[in-house]
Amino acid sequence: MAATDPVEAPRIADFARYRVEPGERIALADHDPGDTGPYASAEEAGAELGGLVERIADFQERLYAEERRAVLVVLQGIDAAGKDSTVKHVFREANPQGCRVYAFKQPSREEQAHDFLWRYHQDTPAAGMIHVFNRSHYEDVLVVRVRELEPEPVWRSRYDSINDFERMLVREGTTVLKFFLHISKEEQLRKFQERLEREDKHWKFSASDVKERRRWEDYERAYEDALNCTSTPWAPWYMIPADNRWYRNLVVARIVTATFEALDPQYPPAPDPSDLEQLDFS
């Protein structure tokens, strides 16, 4: 992979207001999950999204052909925040050969027997690839903290480990893009109700999600600390207003597109003519 140093993520002007600036202390309560920016309707955003997903597919093809750098997209958010749906919409045109999605659930015994980053590192992208983490190493400072699966000194020390890990990935040629999908408690309830009512959504409903919902404030605090402690110059967080699916998709797609514009992946040059002369196509 193409190593880079000093380590700094591309500065993206588009939707910069959703970036958590390194060193800034954000509070979730100060950010409106229902924000739709300058967009008035889902139709308007939907039309623009169509163009963006095609551009993402084109960039992905170039990244794959170039085979020098990689992109890791991290999606986090409370249950029903829209992680699955963001994958489905934003990467819908990408070639599965170069774009893979990893959904992280409860760790297995073997995974638990290792350091917390072990299972994630195995699934980071090779040169040319986009990998999307649907949940990620951040669960180890979120659910692990809220459910008290590890004592505080353990999960707290992980902020530094995560920052070091991501810094290493970036240095070695992987762009790390992190999205926190921010929904309101009311919107989560609507989504749960929809899961109960719709036959095609029942499978997404889990009684344990309702139990987790009772710890809403604990999750808020855990997310605030995680965003504040791990938004770094090399891998900043973006906080996405996610109560409106169409706006969430649009903002994520725009930030992904802008990141690719900055990366500017290139098709490799044409073969050397002198090499071609020696080929016999007859």
**Nearest distance from residue 229's CB to ligand AMP, in Å?**
17
What DSSP letter does each residue of 71-137 carry, written as one string? EEEEEE-STTSSHHHHHHHHTTTS-TTTEEEEE--SPPHHHHTS-TTHHHHTTSPPTT-EEEEES-G
**Nearest distance from residue 112's CB to ligand AMP, in Å?**
8
CA distances from 137 to 45, 169, 261 (A): 31, 13, 27
**Nearest distance from residue 245's CB to ligand AMP, in Å?**
17
C-beta of 108 vs 274, nearer to ligand AMP: 108
Choose the stretch contacting Mg ion; rule: CB under 5 A; options: 78-86, 135-143, 150-158, 240-248: 78-86
C-beta of 39 vs 102, nearer to ligand AMP: 102
3-state helix, strand, coil in the chain (%, to 5): 50, 10, 40
Quick note: the x/- pattern for ligand AMP over 118-137, rule CB under 6 A, is -----------------x--
Near ligand AMP by CB under 6 A: residue from 144, 183, 242, 250: 144
**Nearest distance from residue 206's CB to Mg ion, in Å?**
5
Please tell me whether residue 282 binds ligand AMP under the rule CB under 6 A. Answer: no
> CB burial class (10 A; 0-12, 13-18, 19+) of residue 169?
buried
Residues in 100-119 at the binding interface with ligand AMP, rule: CB under 6 A: 104-107
CA dihedral 20→220→82→260, nearest 10 degrees, is 10
Contact 237, 136 (CB under 8 A): no
**Nearest distance from residue 193's CB to ligand AMP, in Å?**
17
As beta bridge partners, residue 180 has 76, 239
C-beta of 47 vs 210, nearer to ligand AMP: 210
> Which residues contact ligand AMP by CB under 6 A?
104-107, 135, 139-140, 143-144
> Which residues contact Mg ion by CB under 5 A?
79
